[in-house]
């Protein structure tokens, strides 16, 4: 019962402490003022003590830092949301290592002072860290990625724990196609969605299948960035939105491309509720409550057993350059390999889009080498058409391999190589292009 109460307490505090973060990004003479809301929650891991039935005390240690705490960077041509997510997660992992060194484990200490201390640390230290990282991902690796992709010069950024903005050249922005404008406008929310996706994939791919409460805080903040941004439109009954409100601008440009009011705030708010159909969101909230009340920073989450496999479904909206898409994400964990199958479907103004993506984790694995496979096939309105009316349905595909190789006892090199055709694929460029990334990871 105490854990149920703890979840309610954390969620209440999170929503009460939500900040409306005024962001601005200016395009020369134009100034776009954005509003983003981020949750504040997070916590700490260590070994936990569990009482067995015969009252002997056994110790369950968390997975080794060798598996769970890589700090690294990856690089690609335009500094994509994937490069940003790796940087944000690495900053968090460095904080985790420092936190574990400075603070002793408080597992089992449920005194009022200790609970208050853990709650304060969650809200004021880890809350500020998560908020800053989400805003950086939104601005620099979200909007910024799409602007860099379309070669808009002289980009400038400002990131604080409470707000952020990006400025770009208005003339260059206005010369873009409607699909490119939509991609930049939705890029901030796309970037934070990729950050949440990368955190979730790491949890799913770990042997221990456990959630660290500090990572849970960042996951909630990143995952709900898009959701709360869209839901924010309901609060403004007078319709006086800032000029640069991402969601309003997204709706405006989508309607411009269709030359018809096919999308409005009410429709988008209904669609965005599917973001809450995400068990990892609620697992993260439980992990936070479990830490505040009991002091345990690691929690092994459940999955649905299906024979020799474990299964978990989730849903999420994607704000594509041609309209919103529903995503059904299927997590299937096997004894040796795991799979993530994602189905996407959209119908905006009578124009349909669909896609199937498959990630095979540990396609090839050994003591030194791990290789994952990624494939995606889609059918969507042809990109860069002047209007939706002349955008015929278009097939596209992508295929890549992701490798990690151990070159030293605690150092890996990482790389991704593949190719995609023209079309929308979350986190990747819109035009046909090689998929190339390289990086490294060091285990703390």
Rounded to two decimals, what is the model's pTM?
Answer: 0.86
| Digit-coded pLDDT (tens) for 116-152 | 999 999 999 999 999 999 999 999 999 999 999 999 9
Please tell me the predicted confidence (pLDDT) of residue 236. Answer: 65
| Digit-coded pLDDT (tens) for 162-205 | 999 999 999 999 999 999 999 999 999 999 999 999 999 999 99
| Digit-coded pLDDT (tens) for 20-39 | 333 444 443 333 333 333 33
Going along 199-256, which residue ranges are E strands?
Answer: 210-212
Average pLDDT, rounded, for the chain: 86
A 10 A CB-CB count for 213 gives 28
SS3 content of the chain, % helix, strand, coil (to 5): 40, 35, 25
Question: What is the residue-wise DSSP string for 272-300?
Answer: HGGGG--HHHHHHHHHHHHHHHH---EEE
Helices (H), 322-443: none
> Which residue ranges make up each domain of the chain?
2-44+77-443
Nearest CA among 342, 320, 340, 356 for reference residue 430: 320
């Amino acid at each position: 019962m105490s854990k149920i109460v703890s979840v309610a307490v954390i969620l209440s505090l999170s929503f009460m402490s939500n900040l409306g973060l005024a962001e601005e990004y200016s395009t020369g003479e134009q100034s776009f003022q954005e509003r983003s809301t981020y949750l504040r929650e997070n916590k700490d891991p260590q070994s936990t003590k569990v009482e067995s039935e015969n009252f002997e005390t056994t110790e369950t240690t968390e997975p080794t830092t060798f598996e769970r705490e890589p700090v690294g960077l990856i690089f690609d041509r335009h500094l994509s949301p994937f490069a940003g997510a790796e940087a944000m997660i690495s900053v968090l992992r460095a904080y985790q290592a420092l936190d574990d060194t400075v603070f002793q484990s408080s597992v089992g200490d449920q005194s009022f002072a200790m609970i208050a201390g853990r709650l304060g640390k969650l809200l004021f230290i880890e809350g500020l860290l998560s908020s800053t990282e989400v805003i950086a991902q939104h601005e620099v690796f979200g909007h910024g990625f799409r602007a860099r992709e379309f070669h808009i010069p002289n980009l400038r950024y400002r990131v604080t724990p409470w707000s952020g903005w990006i400025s770009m050249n208005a003339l260059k922005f206005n010369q873009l196609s409607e699909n490119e404008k939509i991609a930049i406008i939705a890029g901030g929310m796309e970037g934070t969605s990729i950050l949440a996706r990368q955190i979730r994939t790491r949890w799913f791919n770990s042997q221990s299948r456990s959630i660290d409460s500090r990572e849970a805080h960042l996951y909630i903040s990143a995952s709900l960035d898009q959701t709360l941004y869209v839901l924010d439109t309901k609060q403004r009954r007078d319709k006086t939105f800032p000029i640069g409100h991402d969601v309003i601008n997204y709706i405006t440009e989508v309607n411009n491309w269709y030359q018809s009011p096919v999308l409005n705030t009410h429709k988008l708010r209904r669609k965005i509720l599917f973001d809450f159909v995400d068990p990892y969101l609620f697992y993260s909230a439980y992990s936070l409550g479990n830490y505040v009340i009991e002091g345990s920073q690691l929690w092994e989450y459940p999955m649905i057993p299906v024979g020799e496999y474990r299964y978990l479904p989730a849903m999420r909206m994607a704000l594509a350059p041609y309209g919103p898409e529903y995503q059904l994400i299927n997590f299937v964990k096997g004894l040796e390999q795991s799979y993530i199958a994602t189905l996407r479907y959209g119908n905006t103004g009578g124009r349909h889009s669909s896609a199937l993506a498959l990630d095979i984790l540990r396609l090839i694995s050994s003591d030194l080498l791990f290789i994952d496979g990624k494939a995606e096939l889609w059918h969507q309105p042809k990109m860069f058409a002047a209007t939706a009316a002349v955008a015929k349905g278009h097939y596209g595909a992508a295929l890549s391999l992701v490798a990690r190789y151990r070159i030293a006892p605690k150092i890996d090199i990482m790389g991704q190589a593949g190719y995609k055709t023209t079309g929308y694929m979350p986190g990747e460029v819109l035009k046909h292009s090689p998929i190339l990334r390289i990086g490294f990871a060091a285990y703390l």
